[in-house]
Structure 1
Amino acid sequence: MKAYWIAQVDVTDPEQYTEYTQRAPTAFALYGAKFLARGGRSIAMEGRETPQRSVVIEFPSYQHAIDCYNSPEYQQAKAQREGVATAEIIIVEGAPLGEDGV
């Protein structure tokens, strides 16, 4: 079953944040990640204010998603984000598809 990273990110230093965005793709490629949403328009219908960036990343499995986050490649990229952005990241396992594809 597929899994997803759901991230909400607020960037305080866009110039320094590019250090993260240049390094993170290495980890994503190693673990078969596919971006489904990345920084497009969004609106908060409930809960906290809309973050600056909302990101949804699909992985082949729950374990791939966890392994990517814990990988040395991602942890190196994440270190570049410290102090220049705040992020909330959750990993969620996808639902099994029924006979009708839903």
Structure 2
Amino acid sequence: MRHYITIEVNLIDPAWVPEYIEAVTPMVVSHGGRYLTRSSQVDVLEGTEKPQFLLIAEFPSKDAALGFYNCEQYRPYKEKRLAGARCSMKLVPAEGVAG
């Protein structure tokens, strides 16, 4: 079953972002993932906090998504992201989604 990784990002120090995007994008693809959106144009319909950026990536399975998230190659970029931003990352199944 397909799974989605969602992440809301609020930058503390944006210095890590260009290198992260350049290096992590092919890692996502190598684990069977694809980005559905990476955008700073977020309209909050409910809740109080508007993230500066929102990302949604689709993976063919939970194992593929976790394979990306837990791979050694990703670890240094994850550490830079966590040091340079406040983030909320979720993994959700594509239950009830057609296609």
* Fold conserved between structures, TM > 0.5: yes
- Bigger CA drift: 87-96 or 77-86? 77-86
For residues 44-76 of structure 1, the C-alpha deviation after alignment (integer angstroms, 9 at most, x for no partner) is 111231100010000011111111101112212
* Distance in 2 between residues matched to 1:77 and 1:84, nearest whole Å: 10
* Count of matched residue positions in the alignment of Structure 1 and Structure 2: 99
Amino acid at match of 2:75: Q
**3-state SS in 1 of match to 2:74:** helix
Could you tell me how far 1:41 is from its partner in structure 2? Answer: 1.4
Could you tell me how far 1:40 is from its partner in structure 2? Answer: 4.1
What does residue range 1-102 of structure 1 map to in structure 2 within 5 Å?
1-96=1-96, 101=98
Structure 1 outlier segments of 4+, above 3 Å: none
* Distance in 2 between residues matched to 1:56 and 1:9, nearest whole Å: 12
| TM-score calculated relative to the size of structure 2 | 0.86
Structure 1 residue ranges without an equivalent (≥5) = none
- State the identity as a percent: 27
* Distance in 2 between residues matched to 1:63 and 1:85, nearest whole Å: 26
2:37 and 2:54 in contact (8 A); partners too:
yes
Amino acid at match of 1:16: W
For residues 66-87 of structure 1, the C-alpha deviation after alignment (integer angstroms, 9 at most, x for no partner) is 1110111221211222321121
2:40 and 2:52 in contact (8 A); partners too:
no
* Distance in 1 between residues matched to 2:56 and 2:8, nearest whole Å: 9
**3-state SS in 2 of match to 1:24:** helix
Amino acid at match of 2:71: S
